[in-house]
Amino acid sequence: MKTLHIEMGRHRLGGTMQVYYLMRGLRARGEPAVLVCARGGDLHRLAEADGLNLRAVDFAGDIDLRFIWRLAAILRAERPDVIHIHSRRGADTLGLLAAKLTGIGKVVLSRRVDDPVKPGWLTRLRYVTLPDRVVTVSKGIARVLIEAGVPAEGIRQVYSAIDFRAYQSALDVAQARAKLDLPAGVPVLVVIAQLIPRKGHRFLLQALPRIRAVHPDTQVLFVGEGAEEATLRGAVGAAGLDSCVRFLGYRNDIGDILRPCDVLVHPATMEGFANVAMQAMASGIPVVSSAVGGMPESVRHEVTGLLVPPQDPAALADALLRLLGDPALRQRLGAQGREIVEREFNTDAMVEGNLAVYRELLGGGRA
């Protein structure tokens, strides 16, 4: 069974890393697999350094219609049994059209976001007519598709995964705090997400005055880049929070950043299944998240963290104050989260889940 994987994301984000983990897992199992990725992107560099079988191509963006012909040529040369399209937005549509044009192999389309989907002919074309299966990374995303009229029998759910060892830092807490210039003993909250509106950073800023009234030395780390950075910096300055909110930008040392933190905060308004929650759980710290999309499937209330309604700064402050005031609860939730990630959200489970979908399509039984 030969599979070909299409991921045109240029940056080292959650979805891109899932494809990288999947490619490595398939190689470890002796399953032939080819990666099609954007030339010069982070995934290209990672895959090349790891010796993965890849086809790097020029890609000018989600309306690059010439990509259809480039991909069709690759499909005819490689003749895969299964084509797995991981990219989203325009790149996945272009990939579906290229696969349809060639008529080569079974087609699997991944969906990683829980954005609303409108019922209609376009949705049926994209999720029913063109692909043979749709793989969602959470049950919440599957519900969104089913509510839009996509038949459940064409959907399979396979959780995202992380290389959990990568987030278990070798630094002790004192070393990790020194690395980030954090004073000993102060409460530390961290948000690791793109700086875009749907990640909800603004709701933590609105909750922060209540938190600082009880814990005045609280520090907040914003890790990530995005179009909302100037707006968020302006809000921090206007609220007089410059002394406690720091923007760290994009970082590759997430395990070391999580090590000195007390709570990961994920106040998103929409979220399919945030890998960063699993990263925090792997590092042994609890998560406070909005109860949106697939988040309740990893951030299990009172088990691995606390869930709050979205866009509710008061509820967010309540949850954070509860955790900051109860070290034993933080330790218990963190330990349980680490155990669940290592057992349920490991890369082996993710690879085997996708392999089951491929085998089903090729006549090897239902996934």
DSSP assignment string, 245-268: EEEEES-S-HHHHHTT-SEEEE--
Helix residue ranges per DSSP H, the chain: 14-28, 42-49, 66-78, 90-102, 121-124, 139-147, 173-179, 201-214, 229-238, 254-258, 275-283, 313-324, 327-344, 347-361
Structure tokens given for 285: 């710290």
Which residue bears the tokens 């954090």?
182
Rounded Cα gap, residues 54 and 261, in angstroms: 37
* Cα gap 132→296, rounded to integer Å: 28
Sheet of 305-308, strand order: 245-249, 219-223, 188-192, 263-266, 287-290, 305-308
* Separation of alpha carbons 62 and 287, rounded Å: 34
Question: pLDDT truncated to tens, each residue of the chain (367 aa)?
Answer: 999 999 988 887 778 889 999 999 999 999 999 999 999 989 999 999 999 999 999 988 777 888 899 999 999 999 999 999 998 766 788 889 999 999 999 999 999 888 889 999 999 999 999 999 999 999 999 999 999 999 999 999 999 998 898 899 999 999 999 999 999 999 999 999 999 999 999 999 999 999 999 999 999 999 999 999 999 999 999 999 999 999 999 998 999 999 999 999 999 998 888 889 999 999 999 999 999 988 999 999 999 999 999 999 999 999 999 999 999 999 999 999 999 999 999 999 999 999 999 999 999 655 5
Q: Are 220 and 246 in contact (CB under 8 A)?
A: yes
pLDDT score, position 365: 56
Which residues are bridge partners to 85 per DSSP?
6, 109
Q: Which of 191, 323, 179, 183 minimizes the C-alpha distance to 245?
A: 191
- Tell me if 262 sits within 8 A of 186, measured CB to CB: no
pTM (two decimals) = 0.83
Q: Which two tokens stand for residue 213?
A: 């009234």
In this structure, are residues 33 and 64 in contact, taking their beta carbons and an 8 Å threshold? no
Question: Token pair of 200, please?
Answer: 């909800």
Q: How far apart are CA 301 and CA 291, in angstroms?
A: 9
Buried residues in 50-68 as b, exposed as e (16+ CB within 10 A)? eebbbbbbebeeeebeebb
Q: What's the chain's Rg over C-alpha atoms? A: 21
CA distances from 188 to 17, 177, 244, 359 (A): 27, 10, 10, 46
Report the pLDDT value the prediction gives residue 239, as an integer from 0 to 100.
Answer: 94
The answer to whether the CB of 107 falls within 8 A of the CB of 85 is yes
Structure token digits, residue 17: 């890393």
Whether the CB-CB separation of 258 and 231 falls below 8 Å is answered with no
Residue 197: CA count within 13 A, CB half-sphere: 0
**pLDDT at site 89:** 61
User: d(Cα 288, Cα 265) in Å, to the nearest integer?
Assistant: 5
b/e burial code for range 240-253 (CB count within 10 A of at least 16 → b): eeeebbbeeeeeee
Integer Cα distance of 203 and 245 in angstroms: 13
